[in-house]
Structures are given as structure tokens and as C-alpha cells.
């Protein structure tokens, strides 16, 4: 678990790979933004795509310094270029099976959520089924009940591919200018927490704060409450 404690908010985040997997294809990065707040990006590499963990990391690392959702096209191109250079390096030493995979899969793919957090507000955008939620009263609810629910329920969610000529279907959210508790979650965790109550939210947050998120997820997998997939969460407490 990693945490950031600020005068105006607290951030807690962690990620657990799927049981039996050597590589976690989720990636989280948190950095200072231009307004002395933080920008938070969480990405989920699509397992069936080309080098998903590498693409998710390269994608996030290229856009982390852009403070608004308008950045995407400008910085996305540099991410694609870096990923292609990485692939050329891998191809020079790759096995026959790896070269066949490149021919077959062609592109890396990832969902992504970007959140700008300042002292009294939160806003952002997401592509795909990495979803933002808010603890509203006694329930964990979608920030956008229609669009975020629709995206999470899709058989094939929208994705960001390592392909220049694509159309991005972003969902913008916020700004939220009030205190509250927000959750940013990759798909497995998103499916688990949707419409859960405050008791569940408190247990999740407590597990994070005590550095027991891994055990929390293991127990939920054992009980069949969450699918066996890479599981990542960011909890934001705006004071």
C-alpha cells in the first residue's frame, strides 16, 4: 500500500496481481500536478493484447505530466512511438513465438482513468472499464450512473490501443467540489464494489490503511466475490 497525506485530502492505493500470474498488467502512478495537487492515473493492460503490462506503463508514463483531459492526443502519440521502439528492440532478440505474437496481436491495449485532484475539487476522464465511484450516503455509486455502468457492463469495453489512427471514447467526470470519498478501480474491483454499502467501504479502506489489501482481495477471491484478475484501487478522501 502507498499513501499520500495532504492538508486537504488523503490518497491510498494498491494493486494485487491475479493469483498464479507473474506479471501485474495494472499500473498506477501518482504525481504532483501544476496546481500543487495531484494527478492520479490508473491503467489496466488488456491481457489478450500485445505486451499489455508494458503498454499500460508506457501509456501512463507519457501522459502523467499533463494536467487536464485535453492532453490526450498530444501525448498519446509519444507513447505509441516509445512502445514501437520497445517492440523493435524486443524483435531483435525475440523468439519465433514472440515474433508470431507480434504478427498476430499487433497492438498493445489498455483501459485508463485520469484524475486531477486539488485541495477542494476532483475531476477527470476515463476510457473503458477502469471506473470512478463515490461513497454517496450509504452506497458506493458510479460517478456517471448511465455511462460508467454501461462501460462496466460491456462485453468488450473501450480501450486505448498502441495505434495512432483511432477514435477515443472518453467519459469526463467532475468537477466535484465537496468533501467525500472516491474510489478509482480497475474492472475486477469495480464489479465487486458497485452498489456496495458503507460497511463494505469502511472494511476496504481499513484494509488499505493497514496494508492488508492483498489479504482482502485473497479472501474475496476465495469467497467468489471477485474474479481472479489483476485488482487495483485508489481511494481518495477529500476532507
Asked whether residue 67 carries a pLDDT value surpassing 50, the answer given is no
210 by DSSP, 3-state: which?
A: coil
Give mean pLDDT, residues 150-163. 94
Q: Single out the residue of 86, 83, 44, 79 nearest to residue 59, CA to CA.
A: 79
Residue 103 pLDDT class (50, 70, 90 cuts): confident
Q: Answer yes or no: are the C-beta atoms of 114 and 64 closer than 8 Å.
A: no
Average of per-residue pLDDT across 29-52: 91
The model's confidence at residue 111, banded by pLDDT at 50, 70 and 90, is very high
Mean pLDDT of 196-200: 97
Q: How many domains does the chain have?
A: 1
Domain that holds residue 52: 2-238
Q: In the predicted model, is pLDDT for residue 66 greater than 60?
A: no
pLDDT at position 38 over 50? yes
More confident residue, 209 or 89: 209
Q: Determine how many CB atoms are found less than 10 A away from the CB of residue 31.
A: 10
Across the beta sheet with 2-5, the strand order is: 2-5, 9-16, 231-238, 180-185, 131-136, 139-142
| Backbone region of residue 56 per phi and psi (left: phi > 0; alpha: psi in -120 to 50; beta: other values) | alpha
198: domain CATH number?
3.60.40.10
**What whole-number distance in Å separates Cα of residue 30 and Cα of residue 170?**
20
Write the CA distances from 138 to 7, 45, 145, 171, 198, integer angstroms. 25, 32, 16, 25, 5
Look at residue 71 in the predicted model and tell me its pLDDT.
Answer: 60
> What's the N-to-C CA distance of the chain in angstroms?
20
Over residues 192-199, the mean pLDDT reads 96
* Long-range contacts from 19-27, C-beta under 8 angstroms, 24+ separation: 19/218, 19/221, 19/228, 20/228, 21/230, 23/53, 24/53, 24/230, 25/52, 25/53, 25/56, 25/230, 26/56, 26/186, 26/230, 26/231, 26/232, 27/53, 27/56, 27/57, 27/60
Are the C-beta atoms of 213 and 207 separated by less than 8 Å? yes
pTM of the model: 0.93
**Spatial CB neighbours of 208, under 8 Å, sequence gap ≥ 6:** 1, 12, 13, 14, 233, 235
Q: How far, in Å, CA of 53 to CA of 113, rounded?
A: 15
Amino acid at each position: 500500500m502507498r499513501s499520500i497525506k495532504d492538508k486537504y485530502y488523503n490518497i491510498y492505493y494498491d494493486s494485487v496481481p491475479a493469483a498464479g500470474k507473474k506479471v501485474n498488467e495494472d499500473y498506477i502512478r501518482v504525481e504532483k500536478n501544476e496546481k500543487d495537487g495531484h494527478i492520479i492515473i490508473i491503467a489496466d493492460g488488456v491481457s489478450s493484447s500485445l505486451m499489455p503490462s508494458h503498454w499500460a506503463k508506457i501509456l501512463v508514463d507519457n501522459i502523467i505530466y499533463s494536467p487536464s483531459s485535453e492532453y490526450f492526443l498530444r501525448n498519446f502519440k509519444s507513447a505509441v512511438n516509445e512502445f514501437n521502439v520497445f517492440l523493435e528492440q524486443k524483435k531483435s532478440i525475440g523468439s519465433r513465438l514472440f515474433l508470431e505474437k507480434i504478427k498476430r496481436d499487433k497492438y498493445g491495449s489498455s483501459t485508463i482513468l485520469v484524475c486531477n485532484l486539488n485541495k477542494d475539487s476532483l475531476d477527470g476522464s476515463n476510457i473503458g472499464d477502469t471506473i470512478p465511484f463515490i461513497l454517496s450516503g450509504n452506497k458506493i455509486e458510479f460517478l456517471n450512473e448511465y455511462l460508467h455502468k454501461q462501460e462496466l457492463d460491456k462485453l468488450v469495453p473501450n480501450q486505448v490501443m498502441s495505434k495512432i489512427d483511432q477514435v477515443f471514447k472518453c467519459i469526463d467526470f467532475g468537477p466535484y467540489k465537496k468533501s467525500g470519498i472516491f474510489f478509482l478501480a480497475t474492472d475486477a474491483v469495480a464489479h465487486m464494489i458497485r452498489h456496495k454499502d458503507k460497511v463494505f467501504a469502511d472494511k476496504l479502506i481499513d484494509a488499505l490503511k493497514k496494508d492488508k489489501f492483498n489479504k482482502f482481495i485473497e479472501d474475496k477471491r476465495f469467497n467468489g466475490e471477485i474474479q481472479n484478475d489483476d485488482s487495483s484501487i485508489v481511494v481518495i478522501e477529500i476532507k
